[in-house]
Amino acid sequence: MSQEQLDILQRALARERAARKQAEKILEEKSAELYQVNKKLEESHAELMSLYDKTNSQLQGVFENIVDAYVIMDLWGNILKMNDAAVKLLGFNDVKTNSNLMELVDPKEIEKVATSFKTLMEKGVITNFKVKIVTKTGEKKLAHINASVIYEKGIAVGAQGIVRDITVESDYQKSIEAERQKYMSIIDNMNLGLVEVNNEDEIQFVNQQFTEISGYSKDELIGQVGGQLFPVDKDKDIIVLENEKRLKGKSNSYEIEVNTKSGEKRFWLISGAPNYDISGNVTGSIGIHLDITDAKRNTELIQEQKRELDVIINNSSIGIVLTQYGDILKTNATFQDLLGYSESQLNEFSIKDLSFEEDYPESKYYIDKMNLGEIDNFTVNKRYKKRNGSVIWAKTNVNAVRDNDGNIKFQVALIEDITSERERTLIIDMINNLTKSILGKTDVNEIAWEIVNNIAEYLDSEDCVIYLVDHNNNTLEQIAVYGEKLDEDNKIRNKLTVPIGEGIVGSVVKSGISEIIKNTSKDKRYIVDDKQRFSEITVPIISEGRVIGVIDSEHKDKNYYTKEHAKALESVASLVAIQLRTAINIRERKKAESKNEHLLLELAKSNDELQEYAHIVSHDLKSPLRSIEALVSWIKADNSGKFDDVSLQNFDLIATTLEKMEQLISDILTYSSIGSETQEEQEVDLNVLIDELKQILYVPDHVSINVLNTLPTVKGDKTKLQQLFQNLISNAIKFNDKDSGVVNINVEEKKSFYQFSIQDNGVGIDKKYHDKIFKIFHSLNSSKESTGIGLSIVKKIIDLFKGEIWIESEKGKGTTFHFTLKKS
Amino acid sequence: MEKKLKVLLIEDDTIEIMKLNRTVSTLDIKHDIIEANNGEEALRILKEEQSLPHIILLDLNMPKINGLEFLGILKNDDTLKYIPTIILTTSNNQKDLLECYRIGIAGYVLKPLKYEDYVSKIEKLLAYWSINELIKA
């Protein structure tokens, strides 16, 4: 602090002291007068009041015309006077209201008011003082106050002020500011780069987004020439051209390729508009920049994807069809190939045109659901008609394409040919079912019924017939049918018999090769059975290289049967062939068995009858013999002595002849009785039997019968065993021409049978007769003792014993009969 | 003592009847022979005759009612069943033989081929029955 300053301060202090002393002096002088002064003051107050009243009336005129609110208050803030505007502003009822202004101040602003009041007192005036108030009516307002102190005789006695309501004004400013902020915020945050340039294309302003898309900071950009900085060389001309347009006041929009700060090439879409000053001159332009690089690439990508998709769609192995209300709008190549139509042909069709009526209901069920919005897609297996008239089965997956309201705009159908797959499944199912149903069946008809039913179902045909080949008659016989050929009682209507070689079935039997007839009306072999049908498939059933039957099916449509059908039916044919063959064999065997049974019964009956007959015949034959014998003997007796020797000899011959005749009849009866007479079997000791025979048989002296070995005891009918040995032994005796005849009986025990031999040294039998001797009535000798039945009886008895007999013989040297008897 | 028999011969063959008559005529005892040509006639005779025959000689092979049938009828009759019936036949059929014995017969004689054998058999047969005690009707 300089001396000068100190001096100034000291002088001021001195003045102050002097002033204070003077004041104190005055105070002391006046102190005594205070009471009077006070009194005077009271008086003067009253005077002042009256003065005020006077002045008021004077001022009334001055301030009446002030639009703004005008208030006079005392030094404590009490309102002394105010105009109507003030009443309105402050919310009073009338000008007379007594109130203190301080009551109206927003409590938060009291401090501020106190300070400003102080300023007012010190300076005598305040201007531009803003304060928040709460009016009597509770309204919050912002008040603008200009006020000055009122002096009365140099002493402040009050203050007067003009109050303006700036609440609205202040809000407006604020809102403008807010708007500005808002727009700045928008500009900064918008996705578009905003640039303002002057007429020299110098950048004046950029927003945040533009710095981002360009890569430059604001500072780097301000002042730069945009048309030079960004565009790639080839696009610079565009900028020049467009800028010119803008200078002429035209808005424009264009695309350019630019380099960003990093050197990256991008595409911008620029929309520009001229910028005007207040007087309407173009001062530059504002450009909005959108980086469309990604979008552009996306578009390209989409285009590319669309191309790819088209390629995929067109090369898809699945048929794709776009339809609207059932009409075909677009198809892919696969679908076209599938049905054999061109795209333009298909566009003329509706889906219904290509479908089968039988398949409508299922599709309709789902389409209704789809239309109701319950489902968005469904899959059905259905048929389509091909251009060539044939049929495919396809798995059809239908998808709804809906608009925003959920209404169906299009339907996309994915169509997959499952004909062969379905075929395979059907075949497997059919073969499985068939195998199950014919398992264990041995009845030809039952098997055949199962075959026709399964095949008809598989072929979806109304007719199927199984024919069986009758090799005896060279014909085909219908044994099972499906469809209209079947009557109410499940019997075959008008059973058809087709000669082998005739008709289609007949020629398949002959060739053994399956046939598919696409149009029977063009096949001369076709035989109309119950009705004419246009397609026919005929497959032979072959067992052990022989056609044993035919599977035949007809269909009303032309061109119905496929090679797959034929293959399936051939599989069935080979599957059932063995079982059918077996069944046929069983049937034939059963037939034969029942026939045999019948025959046996017949045979037994006729055997019995024959037996009876043999007895009757033998009686009837023997009776006349007896009568002749009696008559002859009576003639002889009645004419005794009257006949000569020759006649008597002839009578003897008659007698001998009659005897032989009788023997013959007896032998035949014996022969025919073997096997029919059921004697009880018994243990027969053959040694005893031979001994007995030796007694019965006439054995000449020169013949000896020798049993070389002990004979066994066998079980059987004694009479027959006796007949057997008797015949053989008597033959050996009878045909012995030797001086010393020998008959040797021998036996050899084998495992399951005895082998006997009866050997003689007689005439022997020529070899050429060995086979014949066992035949009935075959006698080699015309000896009177021989009827030729003896060996036949022997053979028959041995057959009965399930034995064998054979002969060893040499003419002139003798014969050995060998025979076997089974041990029981 | 040998007595005279009343014999009913049931036989359709004339020569057979002649044979029996001729045989009987040569015997010491002249037995009574009543002839019936078949079963029906025999039944009629049996019903009509005052006295029943002592024995019946029955042929098996006959027309109309055959021997076996006749035998069956006879054995079912309470009176007639007591008459001894001897089968005189050519049939050596085992079945017939058994059947006859089953129904009930007093003998079974085969007709031999030779007349002399026949005579011998009939002599013995009649001799046998003439010494038998028979039920008197």
- Domain segments of chain B: what residues? 6-130
Give the CATH number for residue A127. 3.30.450.20
In this complex, do B19 and A622 lie within 8 Å of one another by their Cβ atoms?
A: no
Are residues A690 and A814 both part of a single domain?
Answer: yes
Distance from CA of B40 to the nearest CA of A (A): 21
Asked if residue A627 is part of any domain, the answer here is no
Distance from CA of B109 to the nearest CA of A (A): 14
pLDDT, mean of each 10-residue run, chain A (824 residues): 79 81 74 69 68 58 68 83 81 77 83 84 85 84 86 81 80 79 78 84 86 86 83 82 80 85 86 81 84 83 83 82 87 87 88 87 88 88 86 88 85 86 80 83 85 86 89 88 83 85 89 91 86 91 89 89 87 85 83 84 76 74 86 89 89 86 81 68 88 86 89 86 88 86 91 91 83 66 60 84 87 90 82
Of B13, B94, B113, the CB nearest to A677: B94
Distance from CA of B121 to the nearest CA of A (A): 14
A718: chain B residues, CB-CB within 8 Å: none
Report whether pLDDT(B121) > 90: yes
- Which pLDDT value is given to residue A205? 85
- Which pLDDT value is given to residue A59? 55
- Which pLDDT value is given to residue A489? 80
Residues belonging to chain A with any Cβ–Cβ distance to chain B shorter than 8 Å:
611, 615-616, 618-620, 622-623, 625-627, 629-631, 633-634, 655, 658-659, 662, 677
Query: Which band of pLDDT confidence, cut at 50, 70 and 90, is reported for residue B86?
Result: very high
Asked if residue A277 is part of any domain, the answer here is yes
Which residue among A233, A265, A297 closes a domain? Answer: A297
Q: Write the pLDDT tens digit of every residue in B21-47.
A: 999 999 888 899 999 988 888 999 998
- Which pLDDT value is given to residue B133? 84
Are residues A430 and A521 both part of a single domain?
Answer: yes
CA A784 – CA A350 distance, rounded (Å): 110
Helix, strand, coil percentages in chain B from 3-state DSSP, rounded to 5: 45, 15, 40
Total domain count for chain A?
5
Q: Which residues contact A244 (CB under 8 A, 6 or more apart)?
A: none
Taking the Cβ of residue B66 and every Cβ of chain A, the question of whether any pair is shorter than 8 Å is answered with no
Asked if residue A16 is part of any domain, the answer here is no
- Which pLDDT value is given to residue A820? 92
- Which pLDDT value is given to residue A495? 84
Give the CATH number for residue A739. 3.30.565.10
Dig out the tokens for A355 from the structure. 């479908």
Query: What SS3 class is residue A694?
Result: helix
In this complex, do A630 and B116 lie within 8 Å of one another by their Cβ atoms?
A: no
Asked if residue A539 is part of any domain, the answer here is yes
| CA quadruple A309, A311, A312, A317: dihedral sign | positive
**Helix pair B67-76, B94-103: axis angle to 10 deg:** 10
Q: List the single residue in B with minimal CA-CA distance to A673.
A: B93
A619: chain B residues, CB-CB within 8 Å: 60-61, 89-91
Return the closest-CA partner of residue B95 out of A602, A612, A605: A612
For residue A168, count other CB atoms closer than 10 A to its CB: 10
Q: List the single residue in A with minimal CA-CA distance to B14.
A: A627
Are residues A333 and A482 both part of a single domain?
Answer: no
- Which pLDDT value is given to residue A781? 56
Are residues A806 and A690 both part of a single domain?
Answer: yes
Of A615, A627, A677, the CB nearest to B91: A615
* Burial class of residue A640 in the structure, from the number of CB atoms within 10 Å of its CB (0-12 exposed, 13-18 middle, 19+ buried): exposed
A607: chain B residues, CB-CB within 8 Å: none
Are residues A703 and A753 both part of a single domain?
Answer: yes
High-pLDDT (> 90) share of chain B, %: 50
Q: List the single residue in A with minimal CA-CA distance to B59.
A: A619
Which residue among A390, A417, A444 closes a domain? Answer: A417
Distance from CA of A626 to the nearest CA of B (A): 5
Q: Write the pLDDT tens digit of every residue in A156-202.
A: 888 888 888 887 777 777 788 788 788 777 777 777 888 888 888 88
Residue of B89, B92, B120 to mutate, interface with A, max A Cβ within 10 Å: B92
Transcribe A249-282 into DSSP letters. Answer: T--EEEEEEEE-TT--EEEEEEEEEEEE-TTS-E
CA A64 – CA A72 distance, rounded (Å): 13
Separation in Å, CA A28 to CA A13, A21, A24, A32: 22, 10, 6, 7
CA A639 – CA A785 distance, rounded (Å): 31
Are residues A751 and A777 both part of a single domain?
Answer: yes
Domain carrying residue A800? 680-822
In this complex, do B96 and A634 lie within 8 Å of one another by their Cβ atoms?
A: no
CATH of domain B6-130: 3.40.50.2300
Amino acid at A629: E
- What phi-psi label fits residue A483: left (phi over 0), alpha (psi between -120 and 50 degrees) or beta? left
> For chain B, how big is the Rg over CA atoms in Å?
14
Are residues A567 and A695 both part of a single domain?
Answer: no
Return the closest-CA partner of residue A787 out of A669, A661, A629: A661
Taking the Cβ of residue B99 and every Cβ of chain A, the question of whether any pair is shorter than 8 Å is answered with no
Residue of A609, A620, A629 to mutate, interface with B, max B Cβ within 10 Å: A629
Which residue among A576, A596, A616 closes a domain? Answer: A596
Of B16, B93, B114, the CB nearest to A615: B93
Give the CATH number for residue A533. 3.30.450.40
B60: chain A residues, CB-CB within 8 Å: 619
